[in-house]
A = this chain, B = another copy of it.
Amino acid sequence: MSGETDFMPTCPLPLQQYPQVLLAHGGGGRLMHQLIDAFAATFASAELNRRHDGATLRIGRERLAFTTDAFVVQPLFFPGGDIGRLAVCGTVNDLAMCGARPLYLSVSFILEEGLPMETLGRVVQSLQATAREASVQIVTGDTKVVDRGKGDGIFISMAGLGLIEHSQPIGPEAVRPGDVVLLSGDIGRHGIAIMAVREGLSFETTIESDCAPLTTPVLKLLKAGVELHCLRDLTRGGLAAALIEIAQASGLTIELDETAIPIRPEVQSACELLGLDPLYVANEGRFVAIVPEAEAARALAVLQTEPVSAGACLVGRVIQNGPVGFVTLRTSLGTTRVLDLFSGEQLPRIC
């Protein structure tokens, strides 16, 4: 009964333009943002309206972060990770980006009838191993099985809960002109690792996904008292999409220095071969921290003590008088290029 009547007059979904859901609606680009904006308008929640994967909530006397993600990656296992490791990292990283200490996870499986039990077992073991690595506990779950041909092996949805133990307001609204953009390491490995397996490509060295929990460097930055204006992990849509979202939400301009952005030579070559722009390729163990310029050296020093962010470096800055809500790239040739959101992901089912 519910939802059957009076729907059309108030439906904010992009019905006219897109009568059907496209792969690009899940791709981290413009179409996905359009859909999320429609959801946010419907759910009418201030927390959901922000382009951020986690919500910050006050419950009783505590401030918590709460997040969810679905994982539909293909193949289930890839160099550097698998769907289980990806689920835990993705969820924990969303919590860390809220400046929260990740504590508890829930896991919901949608399994396809006929899935080898051995495959499920490997994924479950990987979930647990990664949860232990990230110091979180999987405390509740659910399992559904769908008929053969109505799923694709394993889909995982994970939700996470974390405790916020500081009073810094971290988010695009805290970003100021003059801030600098720190990147925690080289980009593009997750997307290329998946693409290589999927397309049966082999390079001289196997490119492994960067998939990893980012809790420790973030908690260390907080513990060191570094003033953090914004944190964002780089997932679907890559470095470009993450920074465009922040620029749009803050109404400022972010200027990137292409020569400062670390990209491994084998990733660069693979991108050239495949016609991909590494700035838009997905990562699962990288983040940006936007901090006041005066905090940059201290923040980098903290990040560089942790293996997962040992390659941290300064890649750009926030400026006042640029085009509002844009990210510009000063290229190695000295020219300037405006980065725009793609309509979808360069490759589907990356996470």
Contact = CB atoms under 8 A, between A and B. Distances in A.
Interface stretch (A2-10, A252-260, A294-302, A320-328): A2-10
Contact of A60 (B62, B121, B151): B62
Interface SS of A by simple majority? mixed
Contacts of A15: 117-118, 121
A10 B291 CA distance: 45
A2 to B, nearest CB: 4
A67 B106 contact: yes
Interface in A132-181: 137-147, 149-152, 155, 157, 159, 161, 163
Residue of A81, A104, A124 with most partner-chain B CB within 10 A: A124
A304 interface: no
Interface stretch (A68-76, A184-192, A276-284, A333-341): A68-76
A315 interface: no
Interface residues of A, number: 105
Contact of A137 (B18, B45, B61, B349): B45
A145 B22 contact: yes
Interface string A50-67: 000111010111101011
A13 interface: yes
Given A3-B126, A62-B60, A147 B23 contact: yes
Interface stretch (A34-42, A225-233, A242-250): A34-42
B11 A70 contact: no
Contact of A47 (B22, B60, B140): B140
Interface of A: 1-4, 7, 10-11, 13-15, 18-27, 32, 35-36, 38-39, 42-45, 47-48, 53-55, 57, 59-62, 64, 66-72, 77, 79-82, 84-85, 103-104, 106-118, 120-131, 137-147, 149-152, 155, 157, 159, 161, 163, 208, 348-349, 351
Nearest to A54: B140
Given A103-B59, A122-B3, A139-B55, A108 B144 contact: no
B60 A141 contact: no
- Identify the 10 closest CB pairs spanning chains A and B, nearest first: A3-B126, A157-B157, A26-B145, A159-B159, A68-B106, A60-B62, A55-B139, A150-B152, A55-B140, A108-B157
A68 B124 contact: no
21 contacts: A1-B81, A2-B81, A3-B127, A13-B121, A20-B113, A21-B115, A21-B116, A23-B113, A23-B145, A26-B146, A36-B143, A42-B127, A43-B131, A43-B138, A44-B128, A60-B163, A66-B104, A106-B159, A108-B159, A145-B348, A151-B152
Given A47-B139, A80-B1, A147-B349, A22 B113 contact: yes
A38 B109 CA distance: 14
